[in-house]
Amino acid sequence: MYFIFEIAFSSHKSYIKNLIKSYIGLFGIKAEVLQSAEKIYIIIDKEEPQIEQFLLGLETFLPASLYMGKSRHYFSDDKPDFQEIEEINLPLNISLCPNCQKELFDINSNRYYYPFTSCNNCGGQLPFLQNYPFERKNSSFKFLTPCSSCQKELKENPFRVGYPLISCLECGINLKIRDHKSTRYANDKGSYKQLFEVAAKAIYKGKTVLVKSLNGYRKFFIPKEGDEVERSITLFCNARALNSKLMLINQEFNALLSIERPILRVSTKSDDMKALFGSSTYVKYPDDAITMLLSKELVDLGLDFIAFIECNEDEDADYLVDFDLPIEVQKDIKLFINQDTKLFINGERVVFPLVVDNPKRVTAVANKLAAFTLDDKTVVDLLSRFKSIETKELRVLEGESVEIDIKAKKRSLFRQREASMISVLKEYDLLKEKALSIHFDSNLYFLYYNGFHVVDILKPIAFNGDDFWDKIKSLREGSDRLVLNFKERYPKLYEELEDIERNMDIFDIASKIMGLKTEGIEAISKEALNFYGKGGILIDTKIRDKRFDSYAFLASIISYKLAGVESSMLSYSIYESFGDYIGEIIPQLIRKFKCTTVVLSGESFANQALYARVQKNIGIYKPIMNKNIPIGRENGVVDALYL
């Protein structure tokens, strides 16, 4: 008879399973831990006397995870019957597990305030990897020799047996802090803590501190009104302040504190937050040990939150916190939550590297990512991690420049919208089924998949910024008067729109017309959250042949701008109108092509107004989206393998 403990886990990532295995080794209980594509199973003999103590300890030990769902336990005469996932040793880039955090803040530990603390199952491993496979000799840690204490851990510590990046205060990386006068180094418990105290006090006094974190350079500061706040991310140092400062649902709170530590756009609650950021802001909780230690000192000074911008090492700041080892930085992951739905919007951290099927054994390159062969598996990671690639067939995203040497017998190009559609169908194992797709990024496309190929059904009318006003004038009768009125009312803005850069998309231009502080779809999404009415106004999304017309869309916004409609209502109405347009077209296409599988792809769907409207209009068809990879452009490299 077995005691079975099941945890829902919707990913092939194995760090939670391996953390449980390490905890079992630490606890000294006899148990098995296995993982399927949907669950983690802990299997213990019913007669084991310490089951209850083990489960109580596990509850406090396990971190929250974006992939983790509900758990249950039961007794069974047989072990569960399922297909176990195949594990491959890939480096992680997540936050610290509870065991490593305990070491980080334990003054008796040889990793007290050591910001490069990690283990086999957590931490920033990937930034130090220079090439595959994941071994110390292939990382920037190859310059460091483990001390006798670390050597012992490599053999005995369940969390660090054979760990490639093991280090501690005695044998690890030195940190330094520099202002315009001097440089201080940290290499022991006292000097490390003092360094973070100095950095925190500088921020507390209104200075800026540029920090080389494991997720790139970040400039930290106390937020004040200005341009930097508009492009900043709010870092909450104190978890207790989250619910008093922000309007969070449980799913958002749990996601922020998960071991994956994504970025979320959430609604502000307190007066000070609203004054600084408006109705919403991008938020995250400390994700690496460097940011955790800085946050601990800031909380001790009474600061619940600060802000940071992602930047490069040349960013001007009052202080610089740095270390000498090179790192390879991933783009941070953004998450969208709507009730129980969680979608990765864009980014690389947490999601990649990723093992994928590759039946045609091809190599794909898109959006600075590459799908390559490792140990007879196909892995997706940053292209910059490779010096050269040799393959029988190379597939490259249309418009992508490949800056490394790739030798291929055959080369072909693919389009983002096709690959995005295939990515969703692959995740749901529907590659043999007919399907429709709405791809909404900077433009809106309707596509059809016949079980073999993807074709465009409705393409938007081509748009570029050349002769913008002439094209608006010729749109329909009376459009010339619309342009004249706008020129008279907003002469400066009219001149700016005369010289539109060719690569500006319609959302850049729309946000400029509305007078938003920043440009692009992000700015419109944020402004839409400022609207508290019950319904918006109709924005023109099509003019002929049911095709989306960018010029008609922008002319409609110009009309409402002249009529004095507030930017918040306009922004909300943009998404509402797109949702209604999609709701009108999809039922017609379903009848025409006789298929009911509907795919949604593209970052634009990560907006509460549009997502809710689409679900209202076509929810009956149960549209599907990427679950474990971003709905944005990063899904393209995965899916080019199946085109």
* Tens digit of each residue's pLDDT (9 = 90 or more) over 525-571: 888 888 888 777 888 776 566 777 888 889 999 999 999 999 999 99
Task: Judge whether 337 and 250 are in contact, CB under 8 Å.
Answer: no
pLDDT of residue 86: 83
Beta strand extents in 398-507 (DSSP E only): 405-414, 435-440, 444-449, 454-458
Q: Which amino acid is at 186?
A: A
More confidently predicted of 85 and 158? 158
473 versus 405: the higher-pLDDT residue is: 473
For residue 76, report the phi and psi dihedrals to the nearest 5 degrees.
Answer: -150, 145
Looking at the domain that runs over 89-173, which CATH code has it been given? Answer: 3.90.870.30
Q: Are strands 2-9 and 68-76 parallel, antiparallel or unpaired?
A: antiparallel
**CA-based nearest residue to 153, from 140, 134, 170, 137:** 170
Residue 503 CA to residue 361 CA, distance in Å, equals 35
pLDDT score of 341: 92
Fold match between 89-173 and 429-623? Answer: no
Neighbours of 168 (CB within 10 A): 19
| 623 in Cβ contact with 338 (< 8 Å) | no
**pLDDT given for residue 47 in this prediction:** 85
pLDDT, one tens digit per residue, over 152-170 is 999 999 999 999 999 999 9
Q: Rounded to the nearest 5°, which phi and psi values hold at 184? A: -115, 145
Query: Which residue, 146, 120, 164, 150, is CA-closest to 23?
Result: 120
Q: Greater confidence, 504 or 425?
A: 425
Candidates 340, 383, 336, 343; CA nearest to 363 is: 383
* Structure token pair of residue 208: 């800026």
Beta-carbon count within 10 A of 274 CB? 15
The pLDDT value recorded for residue 503 is 65
Mean pLDDT of the chain, nearest integer: 92
What is the DSSP code (8-state) at residue 323?
A: -
The DSSP secondary-structure symbol of 384 reads G
Q: Which residue has the tokens 């940071």?
A: 308
Residue 67 has pLDDT above 80, yes or no: yes
Task: State the average pLDDT over residues 128-142.
Answer: 94
CA pair distance 165, 114, nearest whole angstrom: 14
pLDDT at 384: 84
Residue 539 makes CB contacts below 8 A (sequence gap 6+) with 553, 556, 557, 560, 570, 573, 574, 576, 577, 578
- Phi (first) and psi of residue 544, to 5 degrees: -155, 150
At 222-236, the pLDDT tens digits run 998 766 788 899 999
With bands split at pLDDT 50, 70 and 90, how would you rate the model's confidence at 362? Answer: confident
Check whether 612 has a pLDDT greater than 80: yes
- The pLDDT value recorded for residue 406 is 81
Residue 348 DSSP symbol? S
3-state SS, one letter per residue, for 272-294? HHHHHHCCEEEEECCCCHHHHHH
Element (H, E) at 26: helix 15-27
- Structure confidence at residue 502 (pLDDT): 59
Judge whether 511 and 567 are in contact, CB under 8 Å. no
Percent of the chain with pLDDT over 70: 99
Reference 434, options 308, 596, 580, 321; nearest CA is 596
Non-local (6+) Cβ contacts of 362 within 8 A are: 371, 391, 392, 393, 394, 395, 640, 641
pLDDT at 533: 81
What is the DSSP code string of 502-542?
A: TT--HHHHHHHHHT-SS-SHHHHHHHHTT--SS---PPP-E
Q: Rounded mean pLDDT of 584-603?
A: 95
Domain ranges of the chain: 2-76, 89-173, 175-329, 429-623
* 289 pLDDT more than 80: yes
Distance CA 23, CA 27 (A): 6
Q: Tell me, what's the pLDDT at 227? A: 62
What confidence tier does 376 reach under pLDDT thresholds 50, 70, 90? confident
Say if residue 143 is exposed, middle or buried (CB neighbours under 10 Å; 0-12, 13-18, 19+).
exposed
Q: One-letter amino acid identity for 259?
A: I
Taking the C-alpha atoms of residue 235 and residue 221, their distance in angstroms, rounded to an integer, is 10
CATH 3.90.25.10 assigned to domain 2-76? The reply is: no
Residues 498, 132: Cα–Cα separation, whole Å: 50
Query: Which residues lie below 8 Å from residue 265, measured CB to CB, with a gap of 6+?
Result: 280, 281, 282, 283, 334, 336, 525, 526, 529
Candidates 162, 157, 202, 142; CA nearest to 178 is: 202
Nearest to 372 by CA among 9, 33, 641: 641
Pairing relationship of beta strands 175-178 and 31-35 according to DSSP bridges: unpaired
Contact between 438 and 445 (Cβ < 8 Å): yes
Please give the structure tokens belonging to residue 250.
């449980």
**What pLDDT sits at residue 623?**
97
Cβ neighbour number for residue 272 with a 10 Å cutoff: 13
- Summarised one tens digit per residue, pLDDT across range 398-444 is 988 887 778 888 889 999 999 999 999 999 999 999 999 999 987 89
CA 539, chain centre distance (Å): 30
Q: Which residue's entry shows tokens 């729309």?
A: 510
End-to-end CA, the chain: 48
Residues 6 or more apart in contact with residue 337 via CB below 8 angstroms: 249, 251, 252, 255, 264, 343
Query: Which CATH superfamily, name and number, covers 429-623?
Result: ATPase, nucleotide binding domain (3.30.420.40)
Give the Cα separation of 554 and 550 in Å (integer). Answer: 6
Strand 31-35 versus strand 2-9 pairing type: unpaired
Q: What is the dihedral of CA 371, 373, 376, 380, to 10 degrees?
A: -30
The pLDDT of residue 305: 97
pLDDT at 90: 92
User: How far, in Å, CA of 262 to CA of 333, rounded?
Assistant: 5
State phi, psi for 225 to the nearest 5 degrees: -60, 140
User: Taking 90 as the threshold, does the pLDDT of residue 221 lie above it?
Assistant: yes
CATH architecture of 175-329: Alpha-Beta Complex (3.90)
